[in-house]
Amino acid sequence: MSLLSTVRLNSVQSIRAFRVADLRAAAIDSGQHFLIANCAIADTRHQVLTCITEAFYFPEHAGKSFNTLYESLTSSFHKAGTQTGFIVVLEQLPHTTEFDKEARETLLDVFRDAADFWEKKKIPFRMFYSYA
């Protein structure tokens, strides 16, 4: 049984019992993109967006807002050609006054919306996250 067989094709969920190394191996085995960002040093919305943008090698403007991050996760990849799927990991999302529960939920909503975008195109998009 495949590691990902128990995970919905287009989902956003806590990393819980999954190990990053296993998710990376599953991405490689399935020919999917593996994107990972460790946000342990981020404290603010801007720092979190910058961390993700740099880790994913997105253009600098992708880190300016949640909307531009969404654009990079969806249309930009779609315009780049045929995609086989995505496994995304965000580690150590901060819990600070500058990146509070509302900001974290907005960020996760961006990834949920990206998962919906790719689901309509029948492309797997699984995102896993953890908190600091």
Structural domain spans, the chain: 6-131
Q: What is the amino acid identity at position 39? A: C
More confident residue, 6 or 65: 65
Q: Residue 1's pLDDT is what? A: 46
Distance CA 13, CA 7 (A): 9
Q: How many CA atoms lie within 13 A of 72 on its CB side?
A: 21
Is the predicted pLDDT of residue 97 greater than 60, yes or no?
yes
Q: Dig out the tokens for 29 from the structure.
A: 């085995």
Q: What percent of the chain has pLDDT over 70?
A: 99
Strands 33-38 and 86-93: parallel
Q: What is the pLDDT of residues 64-96, one digit of tens each?
A: 999 999 999 998 887 778 899 999 999 999 999
Q: What is the pLDDT of residues 7-57, one digit of tens each?
A: 899 999 999 989 999 999 999 999 999 999 999 999 999 999 999 999 999
Instruction: Return the CATH fold of 6-131.
Output: Barnase; Chain D (3.30.370)
Collapsing DSSP to helix, strand or coil, 125 comes out as strand
